[in-house]
A and B are shown apart, each in its own frame.
Chain A
Amino acid sequence: MTISATSTAADLVGRVRAANPGAALVFVFGSGCCEGTAPHLFTDYVLTPEHEQVGMVAGVAVHADRHVRRLYAARAVTLDAEEDPAADGFSAEIPLGWRFVLRV
């Protein structure tokens, strides 16, 4: 599993960092249901022993659990971002009216 990011996604990470000074940021992935495989950018998130770092995006570690690593084992995935004032979920970019998306 390899991760890259668009410049839009990298810029959005910078805006989230500015809005949450001092917070430890980490990306993790959903595993289906209401948000599909959406990436979540969380502040001060407690990783599980099953999480492993699979890359870095704009200085933020991207972690995936065993389940996601197995699913994306041979894939190159790209982190992108879209403007979406209707976005829901707990990811830290949502109050900015944007959301991260995964392009597989």
Chain B
Amino acid sequence: MHEYQLYIDGEFCDAADGRTLESINPATEEPWARAARAGRADTERAILAARKAFDEGPWPRMTPADRKRILHQIADGLEARAQEIAPIETQDSGGTIRKTSGDMMLGVAQLRYFGDMAEQVPLAEEIQVPQFPAQSKNWLLREPVGVCGQIIPWNFPLMMAVWKIGPALCTGNTLVLKPASDTPCSALELAKIIDQTDLPKGVFNVVHGSGAECGELLCTSPLVDKVALTGSTEVGRRVQQLAAGTIKKVTLELGGKSANIILDDADLDMAVDGSLFGCFFHQGQACESGTRLLVPERLHNEIVARLVERTKTLTIGDPLDFATAQGPLVSARQRDSVLGYIRAGLEEGAKIAVGGNRPAHLPKGAYVEPTIFTEVKNSMKIAQEEIFGPVLVVIRYKTIDDAVRIANDSIYGLGGAVWSGDKDKAFEVAKRIRTGTVWVNDYHLLSAAAPFGGYKQSGLGREFGLEGILAYTETKHVHVDMVDNRPAKFWYGALFGA
């Protein structure tokens, strides 16, 4: 059994009340690791450590070159242990070893991007302002926000940690990271790596506990300056409300029900495989998955036949086996939630083209067959709610205007795609979808250099890119008087008289 402790103020430690939580491997439904379970007292201590490290420690005042060097140390440390941590994450989360191995490589690349950006973020710029009434020089300074509370979900445990800590550390912030209860191990492995770097004590802290205990305190503590969440829309609303009490800066990356539109001139070989990749990658447990597939009426039957044929080639089973395409969902709870959505789809009159059950050959484990629904109306529950499982709904459209209307008929706006042989035409459709990311003839390819986030109830702010990094800075204006002459300062007459 793997054992994990919390990481607070540069030390690994047990929870103050001694609580631990077993982590269940969703492939076997057996416990495989045990981690300390943080409560409010541990979270308070972690916040205090981060506060002290920010107010009194060297980190926010280090040079960008030093921050770059240390972020690269973390990237190097992750790279050196990638083959060891990938199977840990697979056992913790159920993600296939193909997926978690890729996540390690992406995490390394993203950490290096944020490291390099430490020297490229414009931290001091002279700005031009009208020279009336005063001659002056004006500077725009970007400074770290302060202490950041960061709450991450269970679907991409390592990458979500990197997405949060990368921009925060790049700009000199300190942080308390709260991994999801189901998947604490990657963040705590990252703590082991960081512990071996030159990052000063207290800058990076990990508390593994519930949202109601640890998360709520991160959102309400007056010692925390910013909170960032990746999670559901309802929890995002709660986080924003709790953070309002102390006017924290808030970044939210929330749910999605993204539309994936195949136009009638698309290369169907590519569009069919791309659409399945867009929905079934990681068993559909990605917030920006293309879960609503919009197809032209005249191609509907051909596309569905191809989707079914290709879905049947996907192997479901042991996520540690590199031959496996589909592993289990994160937990039995999530499996049951997804099966509930499948039942709801049938009750509302949708038809299952393939899948719809637990796999017959896997009586144990949180597995659900990749499932495709047809005869779906966009108003159905399975077309409006984010199922967070391997469930694709196929919706027919008559015209491009019709497809755009259906795509936008959602409370969400996070991802989406357009498939076409005419990229200019696809680009025009992409512009009409109210969503944060649109791929043309591809899916899921996010870049650390490109902003990612949601329209509508899919979120607030952006992660990645310069925009995502600046979200971890405060903007200061410094006005430097160039008049140097009291009598010339006629505007003081507003107080002293002419």
Contacts and interface: CB of A to CB of B under 8 A. Distances in A.
A90 B241 CA distance: 12
B212 A32 contact: no
A8 B242 CA distance: 28
A18 interface: no
B349 interface: no
Interface string B210-249: 1111011000000000000001111101110110000000
A75 to B, nearest CB: 9
Interface stretch (B102-110, B379-387, B418-426): B379-387
A95 B210 contact: yes
Contact of B234 (A28, A92, A95, A104): A28
Contacts of B182: 86, 88
A95 B337 CA distance: 22
Contacts of B340: 36, 104
Contacts of A48: 237
B210 A94 contact: yes
A33 B210 contact: no
B234 A40 contact: yes
A90 B287 contact: no
B121 interface: no
A35 B241 contact: no
B211 A90 contact: yes
B411 A31 contact: yes
Interface in B109-158: 153-155
B255 A31 contact: yes
B238 A67 contact: no
Contacts of A29: 234
Contact of A46 (B232, B235, B241): B241
Contact of B210 (A34, A35, A37, A87): A87
Contacts of A46: 241
Contacts of B238: 40, 42, 45, 90
A70 B185 CA distance: 39
Contacts, number: 102
B339 to A, nearest CB: 11
B316 to A, nearest CB: 21
Contacts of A84: 333
Task: Label chain A's interface by main secondary structure.
Answer: loop
Contacts of A59: none
A34 B153 contact: yes
Contacts of B154: 34
B280 interface: no
B464 interface: no
Contacts of B13: none
Given A86-B181, A89-B235, A104-B344, A31 B213 contact: no
Interface residue range, chain B: 35 or more
A91 interface: yes
B232 A34 contact: yes
Contact of A94 (B211, B232, B254, B388): B211
Which among A34, A40, A94 has the greatest number of chain B C-beta atoms within 10 A? A34
Interface string A60-104: 000000010011000000000000111111111111000000001
Contacts of B233: 30-33
B180 A33 contact: no
A30 B180 contact: no
A4 to B, nearest CB: 18
B212 A33 contact: no
B231 A34 contact: yes
Contacts of A86: 21-22, 24, 181-182
Contacts of B381: 71
A90 B216 contact: yes
A90 B212 contact: yes
A3 B463 CA distance: 39
Contacts of A45: 238, 241
Contact of A32 (B22, B241, B385): B385
B215 A90 contact: yes
A-B CB proximity, top 6 nearest: A32-B386, A32-B385, A33-B232, A33-B255, A36-B337, A88-B181
Interface of B: 21-22, 24, 153-155, 180-182, 210-213, 215-216, 231-235, 237-239, 241-242, 254-255, 257, 287, 333-334, 337, 340-341, 344, 379, 381, 384-388, 411
